[in-house]
Structure 1
Amino acid sequence: MSNEIKRYMDDPMVEIPGGEIELRDDRIKSKWKAEIRPFLLARYPVTRGQYDAITNKSPYSYDGDLKPVVNISWNDAIAFCNLLSEKAGLKACYSINNEGNIICDWESDGYRLPSEAEWQYACKAGTTGYRYGEINKIAWYNENSGGKIHEVGRKEPNAWGLYDMLGNVWEWCFDLYDEQVYGSYRIFRGGSWAEEARGCGASCRRRSHPTFGIDDLGFRLARSI
């Protein structure tokens, strides 16, 4: 096991307790509730240093290990999860079915993306508002970021010890957005360094094609327990 893999295994993820969360889609004026089983979530988004160490690929102009990795598509994030699981001796979560679709084995112990319900539940950390704190204290967004990405963990965490859940970079979730309308488009959450304040909230939902990558979109790792 490489030193980088060992650091992943030794750095404890946050255990998120089970519960329930209400989600909504303002586009179609719909609300629904989701049950959340206990799971693990990384304290920070995946960093450039971590991504490069595991994949030996650098999809960015290099300017520091501790900034979130960006220009990562949903497909890239899925591949990273399986690669890290393999290197760590865990059971991969993702596989391709006969129709060519990526499916998730939620019982696997490997690394995966959070579902959007898990992401929102963890972001709120027991709070009831749009944000878990005052925006300038918890998030890098267009009014305080200076037009650039920042190192992870420089703002205040939420009540469960998760950093950068809002602002800095958007984070891919596993879910399809609306397969009937948008086909294979996947969800990302959380806002970014380039986003207006109103887009940096626990219930804000965005979507794009699974091959899409941009300079303010990354991802965070989860695991089932």
Structure 2
Amino acid sequence: MRLQMITVGAGEVVLNDPRTAMSWPVKLAPYALSSCPVTRSDYAELTGADPTDSNLPVVDVTWLDAVRYCNTLSLAEGLRPAYRFLEGDEIELLDSSTGYRLPTEAEWEYACRAGTSGPRYGALDDIAWHRANSGERIREVGTREPNSWGFHDLLGNVWEWCWDLYDPEVYDTYRVLRGGGWFDEHWSCRASVRRRSHPTYAVDDVGFRVARSV
């Protein structure tokens, strides 16, 4: 596997939802997060998907696909899986597990900001593939400048699935997406922007990266 994990220390981040005009602080324990999104090669190696030697981010994966990948990766490395599948599509996160999992949106935003407080951790064209510079196509991971903690592509290229429910009272089981994608305008490629999608939807600009508790 080519995934490189970066350990992030404990901290706190304030999340914002312009739709509801709400803000809320979240305290974070230390965790590890992959430096780049999962690639097509990474995904095919573990899942039996069509073989590929592509360093493009894997896309057209549902939230459920991403969760299954996390469990498969954990088992491949001798770790206890982080997720337990219950009746239907209900999934339980096992808090005591140090296996691979999707990041929470607080973990995602904290890593994205890397100690900065503005909308982005650098000049957009330098750090992200977005509609104005991508040629309106997906690009290989790790080809834009990282933030100061070493994370690539947290903004632009592909939206990334997070663990969290978006707003269960309004949107039921829809999950959070973060980061913006290769076809998005600049205003979507900001550290605080939240998007949602149903956990069974697969979209051509949505991928994911993996996290672990440490």
TM interval, shorter chain, is over 0.9
Q: Distance in 2 between matches of 1:222 and 1:181?
A: 27
The Cα shift of 1:87 comes to: 1.4
- Give me the TM-score of the superposition, normalised by structure 1: 0.92
CA RMSD of aligned residues (A): 1.5
Aligned residues: 214
- Secondary structure at the aligned position of 1:129 is classed as coil
Of 160, 184, 207 in structure 1, the residue corresponding to residue 173 of structure 2 is 184
- Secondary structure at the aligned position of 1:80 is classed as helix
Q: Distance in 1 between matches of 2:78 and 2:186?
A: 41
For residue 164 of structure 1, what is the aligned residue in structure 2? 153
- Give me the TM-score of the superposition, normalised by structure 2: 0.96
Q: Which runs of 5+ in 2 are unaligned?
A: none
Q: Deviations over 1:143-190 (max 9, x none)?
A: 000010111100000010000000000000000001111000000100
For residue 17 of structure 1, what is the aligned residue in structure 2? 9
For residue 80 of structure 1, what is the aligned residue in structure 2? 69
Q: Which runs of 5+ in 1 are unaligned?
A: 1-6
Change (3 A) 1:159 1:100: same
Contact 1:51 1:58 in 2 (8 A): no
Q: Distance in 1 between matches of 2:156 and 2:88?
A: 36
Q: Distance in 1 between matches of 2:16 and 2:113?
A: 14
Of 19, 26, 30 in structure 2, the residue corresponding to residue 38 of structure 1 is 30
Moved more, 119-128 or 93-102: 93-102
Q: Distance in 1 between matches of 2:124 and 2:71?
A: 34
Of 96, 103, 106 in structure 2, the residue corresponding to residue 114 of structure 1 is 103
Q: Deviations over 1:111-160 (max 9, x none)?
A: 10000000000000000000000000000000000010111100000010
